[in-house]
Amino acid sequence: MMDIHDIPIINLTPDILRTFVAAAQAGNFTHAAKKVHLTQSAVSMQISRLESDIGKPLFNRITRGVELTTHGERLLRYARRLLQIHDKAVAALTGPNLNGQIRLGVPEELSYRYLPGILRSFSARYPLISVDIYCDFSNRLKEMVEGGQLDLCLANDETGSRTGYFLRNEPVVWIAPRDAAPEMESPLPLALFHQGCMYRKWGMQALAQKDIPFRIAYSSPSFTGILAAVRSGVAVAPVGKSSVSQEFRIIETLPPLPCVCITLYSGNGPEDKAKSCLSRHIAGSFDVPVTTVGAKSAFGTPPVAGCCP
């Protein structure tokens, strides 16, 4: 058994760990550099130094970027925990002593892609604020905000909104598993959300316009269920491009689909500090500039229509 004195001294500083986690999440040093406000060469140098100190490769360099090795996956689990403890300690000693409870609605697909990072960093900054998460279709979530059942919600919109805050455009793409080609079948087997989902409507309209025969092979209200159907090889599905993981591939031969506008909606109730902080934090996570807490103008002028190319 290794004696504690035999363990090499390696300084896993928060800055190094943040760079490593950013690279692991982005799968690309250039994208990671933007997240940690460094140059691509600085990120590459930090990762190389970390690999040298540890004495093990953390990333495999591949054509489209990088992917974690087994050692990298192991370090990632520890890095996230270390950063969480570090940030909570800093917040407890120096951050605002805000508390409260916020009801946040998020479509399941957006929660799958964006919510973990948002909640992780928000909790580190405001550890005493409790966030209750509700997942549903975008239209229902917006109705819940208007009815006072939710304080905030993220939603997918077909066009810009006069009442919400535009965060980003999200392309919608067709996906299939890497080890099967269900798009070669006729009629084309589809995995779709239930009625009321714009992805379902757009997918069926695009195929009908090109006279491509299709059948609904699988239907689910759950994004996890849709991915399971695609993963099994029984169908293709239209999903947001940012949620496409490496186990899937984007189908280029099917008709192109529009993109959605990811929008933040805020209820009309009293504006408290906890709610304002989460609004600002979400906007900042999408690189939307925010200058005034709680002010609608803080998010800039939301696009009215045609925000999706």
Nearest CA among 127, 115, 62 for reference residue 91:
127
Where do you find CATH 3.40.190.290 in the chain? 101-309
Q: Which helix (H) or strand (E) holds 125?
A: helix 115-125
Contact criterion met (CB below 8 Å) for 236 and 191 = yes
pLDDT higher than threshold 90 for residue 288: no
pTM to 2 decimal places: 0.65
Q: Half-sphere exposure of 186 toward its Cβ, with a 13 Å CA cutoff?
A: 5
Per CATH, domain 101-309 is 3.40.190.290: yes
Write down the pLDDT at residue 263: 92
Residue range 136-149, pLDDT digits in tens: 889 899 999 999 99
Q: In the chain, list all ranges with CATH 1.10.10.10.
A: 10-93
- Ranking 202-206, 222-226, 275-279, 295-299 by mean pLDDT, the lowest is 295-299
More confident residue, 219 or 90: 219
Q: Which fold has domain 10-93?
A: Arc Repressor Mutant, subunit A (1.10.10)
Report whether pLDDT(226) > 50: yes
Q: What is the pLDDT of residues 19-50, one digit of tens each?
A: 999 999 888 898 888 888 889 999 999 999 99
